[in-house]
A = this chain, B = another copy of it.
Amino acid sequence: VSRVLNGHVSVRAATRVRVEAAVQQLGYRPSALARGLVNGRSHTLGFAVYALHNPTLGLLAHGVASAAHLRGYDVIIVDSFGDADSRGERIAKLVERRVDGLLLAPTRLEEELSTIRRTGIKTVVFDTAPEGYTDDDDPLVSFVGTDNARGGHVATHHLLELGHRRIGFLGYPHTIQGSKDRLQGYRRAHDEHGIQVDPALVVEDLHDMEAARAATCQLMENGRPPTAIFAVNDELAIAALQALTWRGSHVPDDVALVGFDDTPLAAWLTVPLTTIAMPIAEIGRIATNLLIDQIEHPAAPAQRVVVPSRLIVRESCGASKKVAQPDKVGSMPVMTTRCCDGYRGHPGDK
């Protein structure tokens, strides 16, 4: 029976048919548990994510799940919403489940890595590798993510090219690597334009939309308010949009706004949001396939994949009012080109 089910070479056609008939009859299903026990491989992946209600992460989960299913793997979710502390423990629990691999949408990368190191499970982290990190540190850990610094740079550069000189920055706490990197891009764009960033314009430590709203108001009540705002993600940008609108500032005429992530609703706001889009479901797929490759070919080395993001120009930045062809915006074709390269929407998403 085992030989039939696993498609082994040497089985007579007659026997095969007979077995298959019986299987049909009884509605027999082989136990993945028993199988995993003997093979030492459970065909299960653990996916640790901190906020499933975030549409971007949901899309990521979708990419992960669909790629995994395609290759015969199942995905166990570890939801660490609200308490990052329990996360390490939960990940350890996955060891008991004998997951073959781990996917991490991280909160505190450093801590998590040490957990991984201990368990020795092959892992893919959704992020770019921290600076100074080398593969030798964790030969089991791969990284898949977009270049956040570049995204921040492109967004800021776009606003700068539009003539803005006072650009506010709305960011997450500095401990969030992605936010930090985007800020770095923001800074570099300013440098390249020979513009000094007014520290009063940079607000980090925004942990939710309410904080972003308050920060926006404060920014505007400042003696010298910004003429544009770059928010580290669409969520914060949406809060800013509401705050600005309610204060009577028109977006984009009074204040231009650029977000990050291209959340599904970004295009559907009353002022559609200009934002940096990344192929998030595709990222999930790439990461999952990479992980499975490594599981199935243990010799394969850890990898770093940087997936390009691209600027999507909609209404909130005001560019559409000034230029017919958004492609023509900006004097740095290199940037635009490299960021768009290989990425034209979310393939397979719809």
Q: Which of A27, A32, A53 has the largest number of chain B CB atoms within 10 A?
A: A53
A77 to B64, CA, bound (A): 10
Provide the residues of chain B in CB contact with A36, threshold 8 Å.
33
> A53 to B55, Cβ gap below 8 A?
yes
A65 to B75, CA, bound (A): 13
Whether, in the assembled complex, A2 has its beta carbon less than 8 Å from a beta carbon of chain B, the answer is: no
A241 to B61, CA, bound (A): 29
Q: A58 is contacted by which of B52, B76, B269, B350 (Cβ under 8 Å)?
A: B52
A77 to B27, CA, bound (A): 23
A69 to B118, CA, bound (A): 22
Task: Provide the A56-91 mask, 1 if CB < 8 A to any CB of B, else 0.
Answer: 111101100110010000111111011000000010
Provide the residues of chain B in CB contact with A268, threshold 8 Å.
209, 238-239, 242
Q: Which of A30, A33, A93, A239 has the largest number of chain B CB atoms within 10 A?
A: A33
Q: Which of A14-22, A95-103, A105-113 lies on the face that meets chain B?
A: A95-103
Given A58-B52, A66-B79, A32:B270 Cβ within 8 A: no
> A98 to B32, Cβ gap below 8 A?
yes
Given A61-B77, A82-B350, A95-B29, A242:B264 Cβ within 8 A: no
Closest-by-CB residue of B relative to A238 is: B268
Whether, in the assembled complex, A92 has its beta carbon less than 8 Å from a beta carbon of chain B, the answer is: yes
A93 to B271, CA, bound (A): 44
Whether, in the assembled complex, A245 has its beta carbon less than 8 Å from a beta carbon of chain B, the answer is: yes
Provide the residues of chain B in CB contact with A82, threshold 8 Å.
350
> A66 to B81, Cβ gap below 8 A?
yes
Known: A30-B96, A65-B77, A65-B78. 10 other contacts (CB 8 A): A44-B76, A52-B52, A52-B61, A61-B77, A69-B78, A69-B90, A74-B97, A238-B268, A241-B270, A265-B265
**Chain A interface residues (CB < 8 Å from chain B):** 27, 29-34, 36-37, 42, 44, 47, 51-59, 61-62, 65-66, 69, 74-79, 81-82, 90, 92-98, 118, 209, 238-239, 241-242, 245-246, 264-265, 268-272, 350
Closest 10 CB pairs of A and B: A65-B79, A53-B58, A52-B58, A53-B59, A245-B270, A32-B96, A52-B61, A58-B58, A29-B96, A33-B36
